[in-house]
Structure 1
């Protein structure tokens, strides 16, 4: 199992770099070429969401992106350190009123909707110490060229 970990300052200009690194590692891991645009878009949304949460909560720690190549799948975890106990209810399908109380939720909810539309296997966890978006895609074995 190969792992690449990327830490970047929570600045919008670094999101593009995270997208490029994710696409390169996904390609190397064997993710289908037709899916690479979805990987780039999903990582961009997840990283933009994390950057926004860090900025709105004035959190100085970096955003974490972990790229994991497993035997039959490629996974990406995007983590932030923004505390949001109320946001967990909103992600889990809580009332719209709870979502409005959670802060910059409109963008947060939209970003999660976009990610869910792009990725079949996605899991979002959030709590008092931060949150993680886990996404994965199937891989195909690399063909051996003589």
Structure 2
């Protein structure tokens, strides 16, 4: 089960990069174009939630929190977990962005795009899963 991990500062300009990474992993796993659009939208929403709840340090110091995205590609499934973490990778408590992580519209959008979704115990975290649709080309590019 190949795993890709992307950790970035909670800044809106990094959400596009996270979407590109997620779509690249999904495309390599054999997901079709229709599913790639769903993955792109859901990942963008999950990362935007994490970024909205992110906390940056003073200009002189390192970030207090980061956004952590983990993508696991199994035989016919893609699992993605997006959450906030500290610079050491440990969980961070809900901060000023706690309202962003509780946005019901955001959660509904992700649930509608993914085959399954669940909030994680970490701050602003969500896990999304997609199953490879039958008839989709399962050609994996390495």
Whether these two folds match at TM > 0.5 is yes
On the 8 A contact 1:31/1:137 being kept in 2, the answer is no
Q: Secondary structure at the match of 1:104?
A: helix
On the 8 A contact 2:49/2:124 being kept in 1, the answer is no
Distance (Å, rounded) in 2 between the aligned partners of 1:20 and 1:31: 14
Distance (Å, rounded) in 2 between the aligned partners of 1:50 and 1:105: 8
**TM-score, normalization by structure 1:** 0.74
On the 8 A contact 2:9/2:66 being kept in 1, the answer is yes
Aligned counterpart, 2:138: 142
When residues 117 and 70 of structure 1 are mapped into structure 2, their CA distance, relative to the original with a 3 A threshold, is: same
Query: Are positions 1:133 and 2:137 aligned together?
Result: no
**TM-score, normalization by structure 2:** 0.76
- Two-structure CA RMSD over aligned residues (Å): 2.8
Long gaps (5+) in structure 2? 86-91
Aligned counterpart, 1:19: 19
**For residues 26-49 of structure 1, what are the alpha-carbon distances to aligned partners after superposition, in whole Å with 9 as ceiling and x for unaligned?**
000112221101100000000000
When residues 47 and 143 of structure 1 are mapped into structure 2, their CA distance, relative to the original with a 3 A threshold, is: closer
Deviates more, 1:47-56 or 1:21-30: 47-56
Long gaps (5+) in structure 1? 85-101
